[in-house]
Structure 1
Amino acid sequence: MKIGIVGCAGRMGQMLVREVAATPGCTVVGGTERVGGPAVGKDIGLLAGIEALGVPVIDDAAVLFAEADAVIDFTSAEAAERHAALAAQGQTALIIGTTGLNPSQLASVAAAATHTPIVQAPNMSVGVNVLLAVVEQVARTLGDDYDIEVVEMHHRHKVDAPSGTALGLGRAAAAGRGVALEDVWQKTRDGYTGPRRAGDIGFATLRGGDVVGDHTVVFATDGERVEITHKASSRQVFAKGAVRAALWTADKTPGLYTMRDVLGL
């Protein structure tokens, strides 16, 4: 499978280049960076710290989508929306690991998925997606007297909060209870808040250092507490999951898929 990476010069982009190059059945067909960026024209392999691949970094995403079987996107919400349109135009599979998309951008991605397979997930880690399934089941099994809180910590450079993974975990818990997350979420607490509202799903956000991603879902009631935790120590787990998703799209019809579809959960 010919796989391209948009935003290939960033930390995650370089990790993806290395992972695609090391995965049997894949080849790095290209990568893009912003117009005028210092990486444009450089060999994508050397840029990622591996041997030269004979593939220069370009600044035209349309060219990449025309050449690739699948493109992996860990860039920004605005860019992901544009890339979804290009994927639909070229019927190129798209793997979106970018978080923070607003409702309009999500709608654009869904529209593009009527023309090509798109895998979108708040987290590409296999372990996190198993966690999502477990959280939904635990929320379904435990009674409404268990308060649910989602705690996450990421590196100081992360720009969105709560993280897409934290919101995904909250959405899984809400699905287990048969409610919409937007009706029960409590994303911030400040000042004199009064007692906790029954049925809420709360979020706590921590930022600092170089933390790749820690997430804990807490189910707390009188007399006991259940905590389910996932900690990522390397971005490689996200790259591995994204490449696995790209390979999975090879024989898929157009549609909007998640990592739970990829893993058969």
Structure 2
Amino acid sequence: MSEPQHAPLRLLIHGASGRMGQTLLRLAAERDDLRVVSAVAPTTADAGLLGQPFHPVTDLENAPDFDVAVDFSLPAAFEAILSLCAQRGAAFVSGTTGLAAQQQRALQAASRFVPVLWSANFSLGVAVLDDLVERAAAALKAWDCDIVEAHHTRKLDAPSGTALALGAAAQRGGADPRYASLRAGDIVGEHLVQFAGPGERIELIHRATNRDIFARGALHAAAALPGRAAGSYRLRDLLGNG
């Protein structure tokens, strides 16, 4: 007998008129397990860009029912969608950066009621790399650890947020990472984590060649997070699901 078909999860995309929001809409349309019920953007002028059921930020409370929200917006809009998810019991996935300390606390508070996932990088490959780095650091206590990251010339922060997150994984394993940054051409993103000991070294490398990977990872999380217990999750917690 064939397995029963499940209805697709109802997806709200918050920040739908931005570059990531547009990519999420395009890629969500390719999935059978997700159905966009609302594309939320700042003004009605954005509605023609979206090609999806539209809802303005100013009327967010009247958005249709949804199972999970994916938020790639601005810090000023973050707490409204987080609060709505907590009120409605919907899962919350966010890649909005630049959050203030009080917004981080609000995210933790919401995790008592619904499953939440915030990440600066939604690449599934980087999620695997994060796990590998922590395990390698724990196994190679006396080895040097260096993280080298490369991005396009327009990226201003250095080290990158992903490099720092990988460094945190190394620290959890007991390493003391050092960092180096390169800015060149149109590199999407490359991260090398090197462990060096006497006479040998290990290199763990992730290279991104297309920015769609970040939207695909966020949609993976959106498909895997609903139905889980309330709490704060990492993308690597959802590998193999969704």
Is the TM-score greater than 0.5?
yes
Give me the whole-angstrom Cα distance separating, in 1, the residues matched to 2:217 and 2:62.
21
The residue that corresponds to 2:136 in the other structure is 138
Contact 1:43/1:56 (<8 A) preserved: no
Alignment map for 1:98-113 (pairs within 5 Å): 98-113=96-111
| 8 A Cα contact 1:100 1:164, kept in partner | no
Measured in 1, the distance between the counterparts of 2:20 and 2:220 equals 16
Q: Would the alpha carbon gap of residues 97 and 223 (structure 1) be closer, same or farther in structure 2, given more than 3 Å must change?
A: same
Q: Distance between the aligned counterparts of 1:204 and 1:223, measured in 2?
A: 22
Query: Which secondary structure does the structure 2 equivalent of 1:256 belong to?
Result: strand
Normalising by structure 2, report the TM-score. Answer: 0.83
Identify the match of residue 249 of structure 1 among 213, 225, 242: 225
* Aligned position for 1:29: 37
Gaps of 5+ in 1: 46-52, 178-198
- What RMSD over aligned residues (CA atoms) do the two structures have, in Å? 2.6
Q: Shift in Å at residue 171 of structure 1?
A: 1.2
Find out whether 1:60 has 2:62 as its counterpart.
no
Preserved contact between residue 38 and residue 64 of structure 2 (Cα < 8 Å): no
Q: Distance in 1 between matches of 2:191 and 2:229?
A: 33
Question: 1:217 and 1:261 mapped to 2: Cα distance?
Answer: 21
| Distance in 2 between residues matched to 1:64 and 1:126, nearest whole Å | 33
Q: 1:201 to 1:18 in 2, by over 3 A?
A: same
1:14 to 22, 42, 45: 22
- SS at 2:172's partner residue? helix
Contact 1:65 1:92 (C-alpha < 8 Å) held by counterparts: no
Deviation at 1:102, TM superposition (A): 4.5
Paired position in structure 2 for 1:204: 180
The residue that corresponds to 2:5 in the other structure is: none
Paired-residue identity, %: 39
Pick aligned residue for 2:48 from 22, 36, 42: 42
Query: 1:66, 1:161 → 2: CA distance?
Result: 40
**CA deviation profile, 1:74-124 (whole Å, cap 9, x unmatched):** 234454344323322232211112344454332221111112111223322
Structure 2, unmatched stretches of 5+, are 1-8
